Amino acid sequence: MAFAIPRTTALTRSLARSFASLHNVPPPNKSPTAIVMMNMGGPETVSETQDFLKNLFSDGDLIPLPFQRVLAPLIARRRTPQIEKQYQDIGGGSPILGWTKLQGEGMAKLLDELHPATAPHKAYVAFRYVRPMTEQTLAEMKADGVKRAIAFTQYPQYSCSTTGSSLNEIFRRGRAGNAGDIEWSVIDRWGTHPGFVEAVAQNIEAALAKFPASTRKDTVLLFSAHSLPMSVVNRGDPYILEVSASVSAVMDRLGHSNPYRLVWQSQVGPSAWMGMQTGKALEGLARLGKKQVVLVPIAFTSDHIETLYEIDLEYAEEARAHGIKVHRAESLNGSPVFIRALADIAAQHLKDCGAGKGPVSTQFGLRCPGCVNTTCGQQKTWFSRGGR
């Protein structure tokens, strides 16, 4: 799928750079400080879909299955035709790699100015289920001579199923020596960061502006996040709490201008998942006489199949069938406010590390009360020691 980089104006470049200014130039041949942008990923082309699904269903951290090694390839093969059609319907593949590269490059340039002591900075993309996968990315970092790296989750809210899975994979590969001798630290959650909140709020305001001023205040804001199996929720995973905190922070920024709810999407399989589901919520709002809705992807920072197909095509069609006029708040994608937020998060993390506050957050060290995954405990210990 071709990915078009949006043009930036002098104004947006100025907004992104904010007050940053370049004072120091790193010495030549200095190895870069790696900012490893972790995410699930998505197939850039339709032909990659089956391998993507096989890797996804093989990950017990994300979707726990009995007889996983046997069932995962079977489920992937059965679902491939349907998912291939969905990727065809959104243009032939996922744009998430293009957006992540754009965000990472913008962030790294700002970081060189915001924190010159650790410059040059280089963003690396590490996807969990499709190229560039973690193993490939670590090999690239080793070839670049990287000695210092930040594992920077691109999931704003922490879950063992997403961020935890990516960190487990870095831990397994790193402990095996695949990345060389690297000092690691972790940015594990940032769902209430003011820059993230501001970027989301601005996109909501833009969507609200598409409704008539006379009825705008009655528009329902429906925050939609990827659901989790209840088996994960019930062992104490913090994701539900952290998504809720993001929604609360955004509504505070908006001055609680509109009624709102948090709902959940992308359930897979027959087991119980967190609800209520986004489609059911739209049906219920129609029954209650609500005629205007803004759908807000609160846990997705870049467009991919969950936004472009599930929200824009499936849910929008369902809403129209129920007599609801719906607009979606744009994903953060190339937002200069969001890219600046990423740079600010990373810069503050580097400052904290330099001040002796340690390589991980206080919350990072606490495992879910119901956790029985030994890799999780080992991974947390490894990162808390800087990858040693």
Q: Backbone phi, then psi, for 55, in 5-degree steps?
A: -65, -40
Angle formed by the axes of helices 336-354 and 10-17, nearest 10°: 20
| DSSP line for 301-327 | SS--HIIIIIIIIIIHHHHHHTT-EEE
Give per-residue burial for 292-315: e unless 16+ CB within 10 Å, then b.
Answer: bbbbbbbbbbbbbbbbbbbbbeeb
94 near 43, Cβ under 8 Å?
Answer: yes
DSSP letters, 139-173, are HHHHHTT--EEEEEES-SS--TTTHHHHHHHHHHH
- Is 193 designated active site? yes
Question: Cα separation of 65 and 200, whole Å?
Answer: 34
Q: Which of 193, 304, 327, 349 is catalytic?
A: 193
344 is catalytic: yes
Most distant CA pair in the chain: distance in Å?
Answer: 65
Classify burial at 13, counting beta carbons within 10 Å of its beta carbon; exposed 0-12, middle 13-18, buried 19 or more: exposed
Using CA atoms, how far apart are residues 105 and 101, in angstroms rounded to an integer? 6
The active-site residue out of 59, 112, 188, 344 is 344
The b-or-e profile of 97-128 (16+ CB within 10 A means b, else e) is: bbbbbbbbebbbbbbbbbbeebbbbbbbbbbb
| Beta-carbon count within 10 A of 184 CB | 24
Q: Which positions are catalytic?
A: 193, 344
